[in-house]
Structure 1
Amino acid sequence: MSEMFAGGTARLLVGNDGEEPLELTVEPWADIHRIPPKQTCVVVTHSPTGDGSWSGTLRGDEPFQVDHRPDSVTVWANGECFHLSDREGNAIDAADWHCPARNPAT
């Protein structure tokens, strides 16, 4: 997946080293996915501003906040959209919450 986006793009690897599926919730969309054991997915979000800055959650200018529990992880993505991929960039979820592809020259 080699799409270009204006502003900033942030990627967060979320791995499951356990023996059971790990629940991944991406907020504020309340989108729930399961990461199989010994697998990793990448949460990708794009800055809502042209200069690539982030609104932040607990701290300013942070693209992600992560909350972890024994059987689940919640990722707060501070971009205007998100999508999931594997480490090679292959889409995991076809519904990308309408992340806009933009001309790299803009």
Structure 2
Amino acid sequence: METFAGRTARLVVSNDGEVPLDLMLEPWGDVHRILPKEKCVVVTHSSSRDGSWPGTQLGDEPFEVDHRSDSVTVWANGHCFHLSDRKGNEIDPYVYGGCPAQNQAT
């Protein structure tokens, strides 16, 4: 198996509120509900040899975040994303976008 030669970025999203918070993950349109006092980690990978992020115009921004009162939208600018808890355990076993580093960098 070829070693993953790209980059991995992680973004912790927390719900410090009293009601569930919808986490929208773009550009895939996936929604995950974060319960009160819960945290999850959005993980994205770029397989570019130069380490750039394909979803951003600037090339060096793995995420863009937009927050509203009942939801947060995270644009994961890599080739894929998956969710985990703070210990690295996958929250949803389905990986979006065919991650090049699915079993190598979580």
C-alpha distance in 2, partners of 1:102/1:24? 21
Q: How many residues align?
A: 101
TM superposition shift of 1:56:
5.3
Q: State the 4+ residue runs in structure 1 displaced beyond 4 angstroms.
A: none
Distance 1:17 1:102 in 2: 29
RMSD of aligned residue pairs (Cα, Å): 2.1
TM-score normalised by structure 2 residue count: 0.85
Q: Kindly provide the CA deviation profile for residues 59-93 of structure 1, in whole angstroms up to 9, marking residues without a partner as x.
A: 44200000000010000011000000000000001
Partner of 2:78 in structure 1?
79
For residue 41 of structure 1, what is the aligned residue in structure 2? 40
Task: Give the CA deviation at 1:54.
Answer: 1.5
Deviation string, structure 1 residues 3-57 (Cα, Å, up to 9, x no partner)? x732110000000000111000000000100001001000000013122211353
- In structure 1, how many angstroms separate the alpha carbons of the residues matched to 2:70 and 2:95? 24
Unaligned runs of 5+ in 2: none
Distance (whole Å) between structure 1 residues aligned to residue 93 and residue 54 of structure 2 = 26
Give % identity. 69
SS, match of residue 54 in structure 2? coil
Secondary structure of the structure 2 residue equivalent to 1:9: strand
1:100 aligns with 2:100: yes
- Which SS does the other structure have where 2:75 is aligned? strand
- With over 3 angstroms needed to count, the CA separation of the structure-2 counterparts of 1:94 and 1:47, relative to structure 1, is same
Instruction: Confirm or deny: 8 A CA contact 1:9 1:52 kept in the other structure.
Output: no
Tell me the TM-score normalised to structure 1 length: 0.85
The structure-2 alpha-carbon separation of the partners of 1:58 and 1:14, relative to structure 1 and needing over 3 Å to count, comes to farther
List runs of 5+ in structure 1 lacking aligned partners. none
